[in-house]
């Protein structure tokens, strides 16, 4: 047994009149990427300058307007990176860079040195206010901890006089979730008082779940609670900075937005300390699929993933929402069937809204393909195989034929595991189209005999075929090409045939297009039925080839049953 008694329940506030559960997310928050700081500080191999530049440019392209670029007083590389951004004019006018520093004099002074030349910046100061850290890390009283914050704020304010640009102050009571809520409010209000915050000169108050300590509703209660208790809610931007220790960072963020947060700090794909920061991609895309403009552009999600993996040397997992390799893939038969039908109906109806079973988002919206949606293994059914044949290769297999072909594919998957689309297509060709033994089509001629008054029929079919190595020419009559071809086989002793089903369609568009014909035959005097497929530019030829293909399969069945 694991020793669960070693842990105790997290104690929190009571907020019975909470309002957030009845709210909806109606607009995107202000996003701030902390990939280059919180994300970077957690990497086994922190990013090199070139990687930081690439990540920064990617974040700008995605639409982030606030980007925490580092902790410039912590190390030379962090300092140099900010200098490079400034000196090489890499920061667009509509983007504000943010820098983090502890509330310590030498670090704050060094931070301001790094900022020289910028026209605006967010200076983010923090100190831990939690019960645990006050005790074991700082060994200081509440007043002393508050003074670290207000002294830090005063120094930033003083240094603003020597800085040509505009400074926006951000203050984080680090480990906010482990802090008494009234005390967190007291410290933040004290910082805002020192700064002289007003509705026109707001301070960003960032309330981190530095360590995620309880269920997401508890974070939401904390955010709603403090939001109601600040001296003046209008003189601040309420920012959240969730981590993901319990695996519920995204949920906590969403609930905290309901609870009144204006701004979210997080990272791409949730990189960050331990189990990571909140994954901004998921939060933003979750808004997108609720019809809310996320104000970030993940329309080329694979490119974002590529930059992320290159810069962080971390991998995006195959089940990662929206970006994982497998998230637009269905292996199981009933899912494939429903996706296949859903996509057809969606296209057929020209629906305004995306509504496809098992696919909460259209993969095309993140520039991912339909093709990999359906992957075929032994769990797959006819719907999946039909989907592959249709969407990748353009063959609309008749519904009644799908089970027939899917059982051939399933035999392969049971023996070999996943079956690639190419293998499925090879099997289809081998089983139906290139199936030319013992009969092989050579040529056909269809003659219009409708004006020949001695004949009841309108068409004569003359079919040349190779039968067990011998060339034969057979003739038949009917009122249409199919009738006439059927008659030719019937009169000449082939294992014919009741034509049970027939369909055809064009395979490609344009003048050189080919047609695919599908026929289902039943051998005379037996219950044996087989499908055959023929492909040719001439539809009559395609149909006759399909009949021959079905007959060859009947011969094989008859042989096998001997
Ligand atoms: C939750 C977060 O992600 S916070 C951000 C964390 N990120 C980082 O720390 C990355 C970069 N940091 C560093 O490189 C280093 O920590 C530096 C350069 C900033 C500072 O280095 P050092 O001073 O050598 O060490 P360190 O960070 O351990 O400092 C500890 C001292 O600072 C104090 N301190 C820690 N945080 C703060 C703070 N936010 N404000 C004021 N004092 C602080 C500690 O109480 C301790 O004081 P003591 O020496 O009197 O015991
Ligand atoms: C610096 C602060 C905001 C932080 O990263 C955290 O508390 O997680
Ligand atoms: Mg953090």
Q: Residues 46, 74: contact at Cβ < 8 Å?
A: no
Cβ–Cβ contacts within 10 Å for residue 539, how many? 18
DSSP letter string over 469-523? TEEEEEEEEESSHHHHHHHHHHHTT-S-EEEEEEEEEESS-STT--EEEEEEEEE
Nearest 5°: CA angle at 475, between 470 and 476? Answer: 140
Pocket-forming residues, ligand 2, beta carbon under 6 Å: 38, 100, 126, 172, 174, 206, 208, 210, 241, 243
45 in helix, strand or coil? coil
- Say yes or no to pLDDT of 525 above 90: no
Pairwise CA distance, residues 83 & 164, whole Å? 16
DSSP letter string over 17-31? T--GGG----S--EE
Task: Please report, in angstroms and rounded to a whole number, the separation of the first and last CA atoms in the chain.
Answer: 63
Class for the domain spanning 29-312: alpha beta
Give the ipTM: 0.97
Of the candidates 163, 126, 129, 132, the one whose C-alpha atom is nearest the C-alpha of residue 145 is 129
Nearest CA to ligand 2 atom 2: 174
Pairwise CA distance, residues 57 & 90, whole Å? 8
Q: Does the CB atom of residue 137 touch ligand 1 within 6 A?
A: yes
Q: Residues 265, 206: contact at Cβ < 8 Å?
A: yes
State the pLDDT at residue 383.
Answer: 85
Q: Does the CB atom of residue 295 touch ligand 1 within 6 A?
A: no
State the pLDDT at residue 559.
Answer: 87
Nearest CA to ligand 1 atom 25: 74
Q: Residues 67, 319: contact at Cβ < 8 Å?
A: no
- Say yes or no to pLDDT of 562 above 60: yes
β partners of residue 239: 206, 263
Length of the chain counted residue by residue: 562
What residues form the annotated binding site?
38, 241, 243, 277
Share of the chain above pLDDT 90, in %: 85
Counting from 1 in the atom list of ligand 2, the atom nearest the Cα of 176 is 7
For the domain covering 439-560, report its CATH number. 3.30.160.270
pLDDT tens for residues 372-425?
A: 567 788 888 888 899 899 988 999 999 999 999 999 999 999 999 999 999 999
State the pLDDT at residue 558.
Answer: 86
pLDDT tens for residues 155-190?
A: 999 999 999 999 999 999 999 999 999 999 999 999
Q: How confident is the model at residue 510 (pLDDT cuts 50, 70, 90)?
A: low
pLDDT tens for residues 305-332?
A: 999 999 999 999 999 999 998 899 888 8
Counting from 1 in the atom list of ligand 1, the atom nearest the Cα of 273 is 3
Ligand 2 center to 174 CA (angstroms): 6
Strands 66-70 vs 439-448: parallel, antiparallel or unpaired: unpaired
Q: Where are the domains of the chain?
A: 29-312, 333-432, 439-560
State the pLDDT at residue 67.
Answer: 99
Ligand 1 center to 102 CA (angstroms): 6
- Say yes or no to pLDDT of 519 above 90: yes
- Say yes or no to pLDDT of 154 above 90: yes
- Say yes or no to pLDDT of 145 above 70: yes
Mean pLDDT, rounded, for 110-126: 98
State the pLDDT at residue 430.
Answer: 96
What residues form the annotated binding site for Mg(2+)?
38, 241, 243, 277
Mean pLDDT value across the chain:
94
- Say yes or no to pLDDT of 197 above 90: yes
Pairwise CA distance, residues 310 & 45, whole Å? 12
Place of tokens 């057979």: 474
Pairwise CA distance, residues 99 & 85, whole Å? 13
Of the candidates 231, 209, 210, the one whose C-alpha atom is nearest the C-alpha of residue 222 is 209
- Say yes or no to pLDDT of 461 above 70: yes
Pairwise CA distance, residues 288 & 157, whole Å? 39
Strands 459-467 vs 236-242: parallel, antiparallel or unpaired: unpaired
Counting from 1 in the atom list of ligand 1, the atom nearest the Cα of 74 is 18
Q: Residues 43, 271: contact at Cβ < 8 Å?
A: yes
State the pLDDT at residue 457.
Answer: 79
- Say yes or no to pLDDT of 260 above 90: yes
pLDDT tens for residues 350-380?
A: 999 999 999 999 999 999 975 556 778 888 8
């Amino acid at each position: 047994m694991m020793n669960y008694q070693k842990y105790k329940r997290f104690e929190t506030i009571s907020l019975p009149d909470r309002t957030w559960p009845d709210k909806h997310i109606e607009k995107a928050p202000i996003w701030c990427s902390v990939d280059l700081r919180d994300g970077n500080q957690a990497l086994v191999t922190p990013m090199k300058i070139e990687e930081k530049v690439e990540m920064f440019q990617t974040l700008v392209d995605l639409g982030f307007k606030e980007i925490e670029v580092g902790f410039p007083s912590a190390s030379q590389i962090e300092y140099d990176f900010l200098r490079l951004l400034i000196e090489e004019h890499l920061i667009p006018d509509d983007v504000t860079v943010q820098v983090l520093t502890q509330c310590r004099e030498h670090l704050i002074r060094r931070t301001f040195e790094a900022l020289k030349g910028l026209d605006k910046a967010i200076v983010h100061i923090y100190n831990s206010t939690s019960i645990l850290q006050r005790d074991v890390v700082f060994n200081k009283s509440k007043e002393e901890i508050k003074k670290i914050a207000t002294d830090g704020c005063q120094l930033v304010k003083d240094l603003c006089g020597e800085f040509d640009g505009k400074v926006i102050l951000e203050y984080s009571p680090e480990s906010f979730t482990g802090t008494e809520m009234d005390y967190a409010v007291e410290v933040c209000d004290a910082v805002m008082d020192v700064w002289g915050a007003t509705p026109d000169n707001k301070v960003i108050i960032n309330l981190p779940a530095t360590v995620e300590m309880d269920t997401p509703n508890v974070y939401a209660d904390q955010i709603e609670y403090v939001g109601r208790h600040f001296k003046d809610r209008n003189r601040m931007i309420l920012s959240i900075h969730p981590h993901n220790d319990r695996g519920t960072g995204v949920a906590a963020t969403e609930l905290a937005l309901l609870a009144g947060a204006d701004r979210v700090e997080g990272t791409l794909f949730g990189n960050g300390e331990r189990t990571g920061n909140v994954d901004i991609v998921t939060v933003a895309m979750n808004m997108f699929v609720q019809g809310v403009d996320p104000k970030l552009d993940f329309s080329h999600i694979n490119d974002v993933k590529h930059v992320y993996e290159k810069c962080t040397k971390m991998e995006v997992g195959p089940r990662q929402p929206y970006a994982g390799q497998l998230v637009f893939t269905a292996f199981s038969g009933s899912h494939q069937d429903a996706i296949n039908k859903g996509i057809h109906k969606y296209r057929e109806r020209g629906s305004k809204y995306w509504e496809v079973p098992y696919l909460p988002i259209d993969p095309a919206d993140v520039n991912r393909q339909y093709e990999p949606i359906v992957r075929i293994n032994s769990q797959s059914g006819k719907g999946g195989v039909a989907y592959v044949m249709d969407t990748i290769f353009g063959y609309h297999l008749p519904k009644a034929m799908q089970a027939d072909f899917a059982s051939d594919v399933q035999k392969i998957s049971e023996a070999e595991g996943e079956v690639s689309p190419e293998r499925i297509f090879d099997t289809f060709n081998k089983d139906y189209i290139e199936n030319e033994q013992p009969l092989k089509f050579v040529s056909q001629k269809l003659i219009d005999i409708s004006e020949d008054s001695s004949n009841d029929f309108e068409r004569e079919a003359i079919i040349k075929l190779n039968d067990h190595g011998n060339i034969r020419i057979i003739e038949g009559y009917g009122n249409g090409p199919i009738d006439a071809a059927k008659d030719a086989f019937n009169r000449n002793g082939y294992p014919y045939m009741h034509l049970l089903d027939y369909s055809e369609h064009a395979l490609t568009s344009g003048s050189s297009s080919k047609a695919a014909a599908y026929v289902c035959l039943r051998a005379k005097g037996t219950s044996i039925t087989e499908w055959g497929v023929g492909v040719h530019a001439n539809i009559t030829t395609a149909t006759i080839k399909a009949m021959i293909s079905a007959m060859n399969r009947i011969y094989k069945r008859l042989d096998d049953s001997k």
